[in-house]
Amino acid sequence: MPRAAIARPHAFAPDIEAFISTFADDIADGSAAIFAGAGLSVSVGYVDWRGLMREIAHELGLSVDRETNLVAVAQYHLNERRNRTRINQKIIDEFSSGHTLNENHEVLARLPIATYWTTNYDRMIETALEAEGKVVDVKFSVSHLKTVRRGRAATVYKMHGDVSDPDNAVLTKDDYEGYFREREPFVTALTGDLVSKTILFLGFSFTDPNIDYVMSRVRVVLRNQPKQHYCILRREQRRAREKTSDFEYRRRQQDYFVKDLARIGIHALMVDDYAEITRILRAVEARYRTRTIFISGSAHDFHPWLADAAGSFIEALSRSLIAKGFNVVTGFGLGVGPSVISGALQEIQANPKRNSPNQLQAFPFPATDMSAAARRTLYQRHRQRVIGMAGTAIFLFGNKRNKRGTIVPADGMIEEFSIAKAAGLHIIPVGATGWIAGEIATEVAPLLSGRSASFRKALSIANNPASDIAAIVKAVLTMANDFRNS
């Protein structure tokens, strides 16, 4: 489905802007990971730790709002009842299916992040990833760590267990005290990721004794120079009718807490509202997608270009995009797709140490004998999926031959332009190639008038039929870089 536009309504704080850029780079490099706490799922109806233990505490004659050690409350219940049936049933009741995904889950699932850690029992992360068509390798017991699911796109480490196995969920003091004996491989795996990956903690309170121990151990091993990780925290807000002294005390507590997080290598990104988390994740996705360019084009007839000149231009453009570090995505459009692939492969194979085969992704339209209506629906979904991988779309030529043999505007390219606009992609029309690309240039040029002088000059060159091939390629690269860096 179309997503929100890339443009951000207002600027972030400088440290958040820096994080967005850095984390997008880490995602592209395959070195990013997510650690999800209960807060990530609370907005879709799941309880947090305090909510889970509320009834359990009440049965003991305790008030969960007055308790600070909820692990101890779970242990008290186990001590009194001599079994954990009631607690297990509570886990099943609270964390079984029935909740819808929130936008944070959806954004994370769209991004090519391969590693997720969580202390949650629910299946929201797995569900979001599977909804994106990804193969997920879920690990919530030591035995799961011994095997690998072939073709996996993401691994989800549920270090405290899963709702499907409440008997072995980590919940009580007994569970925590025995964690490093019973689940030591999880500690080892997490330690490795804390050293090698950049982890973003979301919805996590940092009160978990396991995480505190692992982070402290990593800091010591790295000689007090831990790798940089991030979390997003909401600044303390003054409550209704709260005394100024009480509010100042809570704010002072948070300041000390944030500084202590920095001690173990976690930089806290401070926001005033939890909705900012969604906005930050959107910005990370937008930043990541600016690395990827979708080339839309269709040409049965290249007129007024000569066919050989058109092919050389498309190859040079694709080759140059790869050389500048962009990823290229193509739907293998008529007359255009083969040259896109040829140019990209030339650059990838010529400089294998600098470029990666993953920089080129081709998604030809599936051949099918289904009805025209069903085919249109299938092709629309295909276009949405492919275009949704990119942050910028380049439009070239745009014609086809109809059933009567007449050269007409390519309606598929018109649809791709519509999808790209709805998804918030940056648009680069090469009007010099004519047809639909020329029409798009006429429509979007006024919308781009506020960009830099160098961008406007490049747009003019790309839309001028008198421009030569080298000048048009350089102009397109100028605009693509401007979008990537803005």
In the chain, % of residues over pLDDT 90? 69
Q: Per residue in 406-459, pLDDT tens?
A: 999 999 999 999 999 999 999 999 999 999 999 999 999 999 999 999 999 999
Q: Residue 8 in 3-state DSSP?
A: coil
- Annotate 132-170 with three-state secondary structure: CCCCEEEECCHHHHHCCCCCCCEEEEECCCCCCCHHHCC
Residue 99 near residue 124 (C-beta atoms within 8 A): yes
Tokens 């886990």, residue located: 91
Active-site pick, 77, 160, 229, 426: 160
Question: What sign for the dihedral angle of Cα 398, 400, 402, 406?
Answer: positive
CA dist 175 and 168 (Å) reads 9
CA dist 215 and 196 (Å) reads 13
What pLDDT was estimated at residue 369?
Answer: 76
- Is the previous residue joined to 304 through a cis bond, with omega within 30 degrees of 0? yes
Residue 467 near residue 460 (C-beta atoms within 8 A): no
The answer to whether residue 160 is catalytic is yes
Question: Which has more pLDDT, 43 or 478?
Answer: 478
Report the range of poorest mean pLDDT among 86-100, 211-225, 335-349, 464-478.
Answer: 211-225
Q: Per residue in 109-149, pLDDT tens?
A: 999 999 999 989 999 999 999 999 999 999 999 999 999 99
Short-list 291, 320, 262, CA closest to 21: 291
Report the range of poorest mean pLDDT among 1-10, 23-32, 127-136, 258-267.
Answer: 1-10
CA dist 73 and 171 (Å) reads 10
Contacting residues for 190 by C-beta, under 8 A, at least 6 apart: 117, 157, 159, 214
98: left (phi over 0), alpha (psi -120 to 50) or beta: left
Which secondary structure element, helix H or strand E, spans residue 328, and what is its range? Answer: strand 327-330
Residue 343 near residue 318 (C-beta atoms within 8 A): yes
DSSP code, position 112? -
Tokens read off for 232: 């997003």
Name the band, by pLDDT with cuts 50, 70 and 90, for residue 98: low
Short-list 426, 423, 337, CA closest to 388: 423
Residue 413 near residue 441 (C-beta atoms within 8 A): no
Give pairs for 458-464: CB < 8 Å, separation 24+. Answer: 458/482, 462/428, 462/429, 462/430, 462/431, 462/432, 463/429, 463/430, 463/431, 463/432, 463/438, 464/431, 464/432
Q: Per residue in 378-414, pLDDT tens?
A: 999 999 999 999 999 999 999 999 989 999 999 999 9
Tokens read off for 175: 């569970």
DSSP code, position 223? T
Q: How far is CA 223 from CA 210, 217, 219, in A?
A: 20, 10, 6
DSSP code, position 481? H
List the beta bridge partners of residue 202.
Answer: 36
What pLDDT was estimated at residue 43?
Answer: 67
Name the band, by pLDDT with cuts 50, 70 and 90, for residue 223: low
DSSP code, position 446? G
- HSE on the CB side for 364, CA within 13 Å? 8
Tokens 């080892």, residue located: 188
Tell me the average pLDDT of the chain.
90
Q: Per residue in 303-342, pLDDT tens?
A: 889 999 999 999 999 999 999 999 999 998 899 999 999 9
b/e code 173-190 from CB counts within 10 Å (16+ = b): bebbeebeeebeebbebb
Q: Per residue in 260-304, pLDDT tens?
A: 899 888 999 999 988 899 999 999 999 999 999 999 999 999 988
What pLDDT was estimated at residue 5?
Answer: 41
Question: Which has more pLDDT, 1 or 257?
Answer: 257
Other C-beta atoms closer than 10 Å to the C-beta of 222 total 13
Tokens read off for 486: 């803005």
Distance in angstroms between the alpha carbons of the first and the last residue of the chain: 25
Helix, strand, coil percentages, rounded to 5, for the chain: 55, 15, 35
